[in-house]
Structure formats: C-alpha cells, structure tokens
Amino acid sequence: MIVNPIDGKKVSNIAKQMFGRTNLTKEELAYVLTMINPSSYLLKHHKVKNHPITFHVSGQDATRAQAHRPWQVQMLNDQHRDKAVIKSRQLGLSELGIGEMVHFADLHSYAGVKCLYTFPTNR
C-alpha cells in the first residue's frame, strides 16, 4: 500500500509553491523529489553511526541484515498526525522519529519552527 502516492500533478504543485514556477532545473527537481517525503529526505541527508541510512538490503548479506527494514518506509511516509505501532524492541523507530522530526523542521524552516524530541523514561 502506498501511503502518499506521488504523481506529476503533485510534484508540479509543490514546485509552483516552492519556486513560483513549474519549469524546473535538474537540481530544483532533485530537491523537490528529496523533500517530498521523509524517506527520500533521510536517504539523502541522514546517517546512523556515520553510515547512510538504508531501508532495503538486497541479497543474503548477513552482516547487513540489521539494516534491512523495509517496513520503516511506510511508517515514515505516513504523515498522519497520530500513529500507533505495535512492535518488538530495537527496530529503529526512535531513529525514525528523530529523522521525521528533522525532515519536518527542514520542510517548515521558513516558519522558524522549533522541535524537541523526548524519550520515555521509567521514572
């Protein structure tokens, strides 16, 4: 299931809002496509332990098995205000939450948005 389907009309509307026109340079189009959803943004700009973030690792490379997390893309790109996830431990959701917050802050930087990400505690 595609949560936020992207078509030419959506890209055109975003480009018009962002640049005031729809005839874009290659660099401007790349920027729009990177900013259009959080997963693309994180693939371009985010690192975990100084390594690029990944969602899909092809093949049977057991050393990279922990980086194979294709389910994160749908959760990350779901821009609903409220999300509920039933999960086990150590699936990288805190990292995704921080990445989503950074994407939001960058996307809305024109408005001087301020963000704070907190972690739960037992105390």
Render each residue's pLDDT in the chain as its tens digit; 123 residues: 555 577 888 888 888 888 888 888 899 888 888 888 888 898 888 887 887 888 877 776 666 666 677 888 888 888 888 888 887 777 778 888 888 999 999 988 888 899 998 887 777
Q: Delimit the domains of the chain by residue range.
A: 37-111
- Within 1-123, strands assigned E span 47-48, 51-52
The closest alpha carbon to 55, from 87, 1, 91, 107, belongs to 91
Please tell me the pTM assigned to this model: 0.74
Cα dihedral 102/107/113/117 (nearest 10): -20
